[in-house]
Each structure stands twice: as C-alpha cells, then as structure tokens.
Amino acid sequence: MFRTTYSLSSFTERIMLVDDDHSIRHLLNRQIATFGLETDQAQDGTEAMELLKNRQYGLVITDLVMPKMDGMELIQHISKHKPLTDVLVISGQNNSHNFSSLIEAGATDFIKKPFSIDELKTKLQRIFRERRLFNDLQQAQEQESRSFLGLVESLAISLSEKDPYTHGHSKRVTDLSLLLAKQLTDVDVDLELLRLCGMLHDIGKIGVPDNILAKPDALSAKEFSIIKEHPDRGTYILRPIERDAKGLTISKVIRHHHEHFDGKGYPCKIKGEEIPLMSRIIAIADSYDAMTSDRPYRKSLARKHALEEIKKNAGTQFDPVLAKKFISFMQNTVKPGAAKASSRVLLPVVRRNRIISAN
C-alpha cells in the first residue's frame, strides 16, 4: 500500500495530556515538544473536560486509572461530545480494560507502559496521517456536496423559469418558512438547510410535462396523479446528494412536504411528528403562498381569509402548533403583502373548490 511519510510537526492541532502522575505528564510533554508539538495538561478526567469546553483538541493522550473521573469515562465523554478529537490511551498492563473495549468506547489507539519513544512517535504518525486523510476526504465531500447543492439550486431557479406561474413561488415559500422557523423557540431548526429545502421543495416538478404544469384548466385524474408524483420525483433527482447527511435530510423533507398531519396527504401518508419538522413548516408556507397568489381562473385570497383557512385545517392538514404560530406572527408582525405573490403561482386546478393545497 502507498504511504506518505508524515512529519509530526505539520500537525497543527493542539494535544492534551491527561495523567494524575505529574512526572509522566512532564516526560510526555518534553518528548512531544521534541516533535515540534504543543500540549496542555490535565491531571484527571474532570480537569480534561473543563479544558475541552474551551478549546478544540486534535488529540487527547490519557491514562486510564485516575482519581475523580477515570480514563474510560473521559473516552466516552469525548466520543459523545467531541467526536473529531482522537484519543490515545497510555496505560500499564494491570488494567481491567482490554484493547477492544477501549476502541468500542471511542479510543483511537492504545500504548502499553512501558513504551519506547519510537513507539509513541509511530502511533502519533499513524493517528495524524489518518486524521489528515479523514480531513481531506471530508473537505472533498463537502466541496462535492456544495457544488452539487449549487447545481440543484440552479435547477430550482430553472423550475421557476419553466413556467410563469411558478416564478417566485419557491422564494416566497422559503422566506415564509424561515420566518415561521424563527418563531420556534423550543426546537433548533437548521435555517440553511430549511432555505435549501424551501428553494427545492418542488424540484420534482422538473419531471412533470409542461402541458400539465401550465394547464390553465382543470386537470384530469391522470394528470393530477402525475402532479402528485413530484415529491417522489424530487427525491429521485436528489439521490446523488443522499450520501451526505444534509443531502439526505433535504431529500426527506422534500419528499414529505405534501403529507398531512392527520395522515391523509401524500406520498407516504405518514402523520403527526413522523413528518419531518421542516416538511410541516414548508407545508404551511406553501399553502399560504398558494392561497394568496393569483391563479389563472381566480384572484388570490386576502391574507385574512388565507389565515382562516390555515386555522380551519390546523390538526388535519397542518401541524396545529406550527399553524398557530404562523397565524400569530402573520397577524402581528408581517405587513400585508410582505410575502405575497409578485406574480402568479403554479397551481394545478384540480380541487378548485379547495384551494388550500398547493400540490
């Protein structure tokens, strides 16, 4: 296998030494300094956790048997709260933990005391080389993901351009979704992800024929069933980004933006909190924008009446808690027309008598 030589001094992240024996910390510190690396020191797990609160460490080198908090507990803490920090365990022969239990707990590697300087150096080189490879891989994936998301965003714009009725719809749905998400104080919503989901929620309509998308008259049952395929089509288009955790979330949110809170939506008929939170947010913004936008065969609803429709369908079509928040902030903070359609929005004309669905 091809291996590059790794210079320890090229490692720029900080190292923490954790050992209750001052002389061992001192020895390790001196040795590691000869590699061109800097360290901080802690005498047990509790002190180490304090340091970890204030600084990002690339590597923690720890003993196992220590007062207050032992090494095993520290490894588990780092594994849970600082997953990007490597842990090298240095311990004597007489400990109750075997190598596999340490790795299972989240340690990166183990050195048994007594050890030689060469052994320490080799372990550090291996850990740092793997970190570099991991970082390179992650950067490449992030770059790939960014490029792809940029491309998909362009597709969303293309979708808006495809039909005059859709122009601006995705943007307004995004703006309203972000406004609603900012009202939620008890949950954390990733606003950047939500923005992308809003922009892309109807990306699956790229696969719907123009003559159906732009049809000004009533759709046949067959045409409507084709329109209803768009959440699944969107997921199909976004499959390449599903390797990325954020990409997978976007794909799921888009797939479920037409589910109803009572389970009577589509495509999966999931209900309540089974529906991703961002899908439930977009569903409200989407329907509101649909109702307040002019359509080929009728004028838009006044904001007051659109909000009444949202209220009427809270708990059946919409998440009742989100619907309440949406109505409240729209009534109290958003000026009439702030997120109103600047042009007509694409709305299939099926169910003309019930305009609450954006389809």
Q: Which residues bind Fe ion (CB under 5 A)?
A: 202
Nearest to 213 by CA among 283, 282, 166: 166
Q: Which is nearer to Fe ion, 202 or 309 (CB)?
A: 202
Using Cβ positions, the residue closest to Fe ion within the complex turns out to be: 202
Q: In the complex, what is the shortest distance from the CB of residue 340 to Fe ion, in angstroms, rounded to a whole number?
A: 19
What distance, in Å, lies between the first and last C-alpha atoms of the chain? 54
Q: In the complex, what is the shortest distance from the CB of residue 202 to Fe ion, in angstroms, rounded to a whole number?
A: 5
Q: In the complex, what is the shortest distance from the CB of residue 258 to Fe ion, in angstroms, rounded to a whole number?
A: 6
Q: Which is nearer to Fe ion, 231 or 247 (CB)?
A: 231
Q: Which is nearer to Fe ion, 17 or 346 (CB)?
A: 346
Task: Mark residue 300 as left, alpha or beta (left: phi above 0; alpha: psi -120 to 50; beta: remaining).
Answer: beta
Q: Which is nearer to Fe ion, 131 or 257 (CB)?
A: 257
Q: In the complex, what is the shortest distance from the CB of residue 204 to Fe ion, in angstroms, rounded to a whole number?
A: 8
Q: In the complex, what is the shortest distance from the CB of residue 357 to Fe ion, in angstroms, rounded to a whole number?
A: 9
Q: Which is nearer to Fe ion, 127 or 346 (CB)?
A: 346
Residue 143 contacts residue 135 (beta carbons within 8 Å): no
Task: Mark residue 268 as left, alpha or beta (left: phi above 0; alpha: psi -120 to 50; beta: remaining).
Answer: alpha
Q: Which is nearer to Fe ion, 202 or 259 (CB)?
A: 202
Alpha-carbon distance 124 to 187, whole Å?
Answer: 40
Q: In the complex, what is the shortest distance from the CB of residue 201 to Fe ion, in angstroms, rounded to a whole number?
A: 6
Q: Which is nearer to Fe ion, 159 or 306 (CB)?
A: 159
Residue 353 vs residues 51, 94, 317: alpha-carbon distances, Å: 63, 78, 16
Q: DSSP secondary structure string, 200-233?
A: HTTGGGGGS-HHHHT--SPPPHHHHHHHTTHHHH
Q: Token pair for residue 238?
A: 């976004």
Give 295's DSSP letter.
B
Distance of CA 114 to the CA centre of its chain: 44
Count of Cβ atoms closer than 10 Å to residue 254 Cβ: 29
